Amino acid sequence: MFPSRRRGAIATGRLRLAVALVAVMPALLVADCGLNSPPQKVVVAAAGPRTVSAAVGGLGKVAAAVDVPVVVDYRGTVNSVAVSPGDHVKVGQPLLTLDASQLKSVSEQAAVRLQSANAALLRARALVEDAKVRNPSFVPGLQAQVQALQAQAALLQQLVDQAKTQSGQLTAPIEADVASVNARAGQVITPGKPLIELVESTTLVATASIPIRSRPTKLVGATAVLGFDSLPEVTLTGTVTSVSPVASPNGQTFTLTITAANTPDHAVLPGLQTYVRIATSQPAAVVIPKIAVLNSDRSPSVYVVDAGKVVHRRTVTLGVEDDTYVQILSGLSDGDVCVIQGNQQLTDGTTVTVSTSV
């Protein structure tokens, strides 16, 4: 080989070796760093039982606990109407007058309905007496039910009596406000459709939708606070009287009912929107600090440290929570060691050093 060609081949070989070394060096550096990097320090806490002081809430609307629709179950005619929406009526005050010529034909039907109404009234009164002993906070709501049933029975009694007197006049069965009037002189009655609606709002009933995730195991009997954006100076305190056993149609909430006393001047009107807040204390089998949970709003997960000090990411289902702790419904067991500090920098399979356990 000529000297010049030999020198060129040697130079080319050296260049190739240099390029190869440059390409390999990053991989060697990364491998070296992986081998020598120290385990990450974390703070952990063990999952376990605890009582969670939960505050749950949601939007709802209030209604009068005593709501009395004036309904006639025959196709007669309205002769005259004596009230307008917004009127306040006393017991015995005329509401409307019906064509009495057909009252006899429905007297038997009204008598049957009256018998059923009186039976329901007896049951409601018994519930009131029972609640006075067992659940005194339920008494106002039950008494409102009794009042509404009494009013319905009184209206039915008027229809039965008018079949004999042929007067055709219906009067207010309770002292109340006229919420709506759906009748006018000369109108043909649609059986079963309310002609007038009477409301008495001394006691209110609020129906609210609460997120299912926030549902404690026991809510009936809990104290609820009702606030109103339209009446910022007014706050009502009531009692949860019922909880729906099924989810709402949206699949995200459930419905509960609260009974509360109105202000003395009836400042809260039926139909107002309210925000309901309920404070409860609930024992839970598996609870962890909230700061252990990552992506709590979408796909909540927790890093759990095994016996070899390796972390594993677990998807969890959250339950009720307070300012510090959250209930875990699935994904963790009592005693699991969870990372509460340093978890943002972890990946599944990382080796850690536990610096503090709380």
Q: CATH 2.40.420.20 occupies which residues in the chain? A: 40-51+284-357
Q: pLDDT by residue (tens digit) across 165-207?
A: 777 889 999 999 999 999 999 999 888 899 999 999 999 999 9
pLDDT of residue 209: 93
CATH architecture designation of domain 54-58+203-283: Beta Barrel (2.40)
Specify the pTM: 0.67
Q: What is the mean pLDDT of residues 297-310?
A: 92
Q: How confident is the model at residue 355 (pLDDT cuts 50, 70, 90)?
A: confident
The answer to whether residue 22 scores a pLDDT higher than 70 is no
CB-neighbour burial class of residue 292 (10 A; exposed 0-12, middle 13-18, buried 19+)? buried
Cβ–Cβ under 8 Å, residues 280 and 73: no
pLDDT of residue 32: 45
Among candidates 135, 175, 172, which has minimal Cα distance to 259? 135
259 vs 37, which has greater pLDDT? 259
The answer to whether residue 324 scores a pLDDT higher than 60 is yes
37 vs 12, which has greater pLDDT? 37
The answer to whether residue 27 scores a pLDDT higher than 60 is no
> In angstroms, rounded to a whole number, what is the distance separating the alpha carbons of residues 169 and 81?
10
Lowest mean pLDDT among 39-48, 161-170, 300-309: 161-170
Q: Does domain 40-51+284-357 have CATH number 1.10.10.10?
A: no
18 vs 329, which has greater pLDDT? 329
The answer to whether residue 59 scores a pLDDT higher than 80 is yes
Q: What is the mean pLDDT of residues 238-245?
A: 92
The tokens of 295 are what?
Answer: 């992506």
Cβ–Cβ under 8 Å, residues 55 and 30: no
The tokens of 272 are what?
Answer: 């107002």
* DSSP assignment string, 227-296: E-TT-TT-EEEEEEEEEEEEE-TTSSEEEEEEEEEPPTT--S-TT-EEEEEEEEEEEEEEEEEGGG-BST
The answer to whether residue 315 scores a pLDDT higher than 70 is yes
Helix, strand, coil share of the chain (percent; to 5): 30, 40, 30
> In angstroms, rounded to a whole number, what is the distance separating the alpha carbons of residues 87 and 96?
13
CB atoms within 10 A of CB 47: 23
Q: What is the distance, to the nearest Å, from the Cα of residue 45 to the centroid of all Cα atoms in its chain?
A: 31
* DSSP assignment string, 62-109: EEEEEEEEE---S--BEEEE---TT-EE-TT-EEEEE-GGGHHHHHHH
Among candidates 81, 80, 162, 165, which has minimal Cα distance to 114? 162
pLDDT of residue 36: 54
Q: CATH 2.40.30.170 occupies which residues in the chain? A: 54-58+203-283
Among candidates 52, 158, 147, which has minimal Cα distance to 106? 158
pLDDT of residue 111: 84
Among candidates 172, 167, 166, 140, which has minimal Cα distance to 154? 172
The answer to whether residue 10 scores a pLDDT higher than 60 is no
Lowest mean pLDDT among 41-45, 108-112, 191-195, 269-273: 108-112
78 vs 30, which has greater pLDDT? 78
> In angstroms, rounded to a whole number, what is the distance separating the alpha carbons of residues 87 and 176?
9
pLDDT of residue 105: 67
The answer to whether residue 114 scores a pLDDT higher than 60 is yes
